[in-house]
Amino acid sequence: MLIHVVKPGESLWRIAAYYRVPIVQIINVNKLPNPGQLVVGEALVIPTADVFHTVRAGETLWQIAKRYGISLQTLLLTNNIQNPNLVYPGTVLVVSRKQKPVIEVNGYIYYFGEQAVPIVREDGKHLTYLSPFAYGIREDGSLEQIDDSPAISAAYAAKVVPMMSITNFTSSELGRNLAHIVLGTPEIRERLLTNIISVMKEKGYRGVNIDFENVLPADHELYNQFLRRAVDRLHPEGFFVSTALAPKTSAGQPGSLYEAHDYPAHGRRLKHLVSRRHCFEQ
């Protein structure tokens, strides 16, 4: 166990990502009534077997590495340190990874209302996240509503993190033109994000999963801009952001599910979760 004291500007998703611990574990161990509202100075128990070291004044990374019997290169790589000169007193370093890699599982559920409850009760033990699929976006930035409250309540009862899912495709069209209108119009993008935040607060979602498919290749950078803006607006509210992607074997892989999706940019910007929904559909 490790104790983390919440600092100004920190959110639960950022703390969980830093320590590589599922958010749901931190919520459960600390019995947090409202995970989206952390209090500065609050002490959180982090359920991890890793070993950490807090840098003290006058210490060098070489001295720290020698103390724990590891190479300087291992210390740099483990903590993703690009410039050793930018490590200051108070920095918390990982000096030993003892636990197995965390595997997080998201389950999309296509049943709404009370029909979803027995499914979540039965399968919740296998999940980290639950995503009722899905809120459809509209050209004006509004959202098509779904009856997801019973599924969300069942998710909390099963200690599963509810994750809102939004999508651009419908039963009648692939959504490429709809995505083009929304991504290419700043005021619509902002309205969409405002509506997403409103639903998440009202329903009790902890994060959002963005499933934009068949986006036009020409809208590649617009999609990246939208994701950056989503992170900038949702993270300060305590919500995490994830995307749904199809399996991709190369950067230049052709196809409507791949060409507009910048996979490295998703990973760099979101730093939390990438959901590969299509792995199970194709």
pLDDT at residue 16, as a whole number? 84
Alpha-carbon distances, residue 246 vs 201, 226, 238, 249 (angstroms): 29, 19, 27, 10
Give residues with Cβ within 8 angstroms of 66, minimum separation 6: none
- At residue 229 the predicted structure's pLDDT band, cuts being 50, 70 and 90, is very high
Structural domain count of the chain: 2
Q: Tell whether 90 and 125 lie within a shared domain.
A: no
Give the tens place of pLDDT for each residue, 108-135. 999 999 999 999 999 998 898 999 999 9
Do 86 and 161 belong to one domain? no
Strands 129-132 and 161-167: parallel
Which range, 1-15, 87-101, 113-127, is most confident? 113-127
Pick from 39, 36, 33: which is nearest to 205 by CA?
A: 36
Full residue range of the structural domain in which residue 164 is found: 106-280
* Interatomic CA distance for residues 122 and 67, integer angstroms: 48
Apex CA 277: angle with CA 13 and CA 118, to 5°? 80
Length of the chain: 282
**Cβ proximity of 186 and 240 under 8 Å:** no
The CATH number assigned to the domain holding 18 equals: 3.10.350.10
The model's pTM: 0.65
101 occurs within a structural domain: no
Catalytic, out of 213, 237, 259, 281: 213
Coil/strand/helix, residue 99: coil
CA 29: distance to chain centroid? 20
1, 4, 86: which is closest to 41 by C-alpha? 4
Nearest of 52, 37, 41 to residue 2 by alpha carbon: 52
User: Do both 92 and 110 map to the same domain?
Assistant: no
Question: Over pLDDT 90: what percentage of the chain?
Answer: 32
90 and 135 within one domain: no
By the 10 Å C-beta count (0-12 exposed, 13-18 middle, 19+ buried), 150 is classed as: middle
Could you tell me which residue, 270 or 64, shows the higher pLDDT?
A: 64
Pick from 10-14, 50-54, 167-171: least confident: 167-171
> Do residues 49 and 117 share a domain?
no
128 with 229, same domain? yes
Q: Are 48 and 19 in contact (CB under 8 A)?
A: yes
Residues 232 and 158 in one domain: yes
Q: Across all residues in the chain, what is the average pLDDT?
A: 83
Which of the given ranges, 5-9, 92-96, 114-118, has the highest pLDDT on average?
A: 114-118
**Is 128 inside a domain boundary?**
yes
Asked if residue 136 has pLDDT above 80, the reply is yes
Residue 201 has pLDDT above 80, yes or no: yes
Q: Are residues 83 and 130 in the same domain?
A: no
Instruction: Kindly report whether the peptide bond that precedes residue 155 is cis, defined as omega within 30 degrees of 0.
Output: no
Task: Give yes or no: 213 in active site.
Answer: yes
User: Last residue of some domain: 96, 122, 157?
Assistant: 96
Mark which of 63, 96, 129 sits at the end of a domain.
Answer: 96
Is the domain of 67 the same as that of 132? no
Of 69, 96, 123, which one is at a domain's C-terminal end? Answer: 96
CATH of the domain at 193: 3.20.20.80
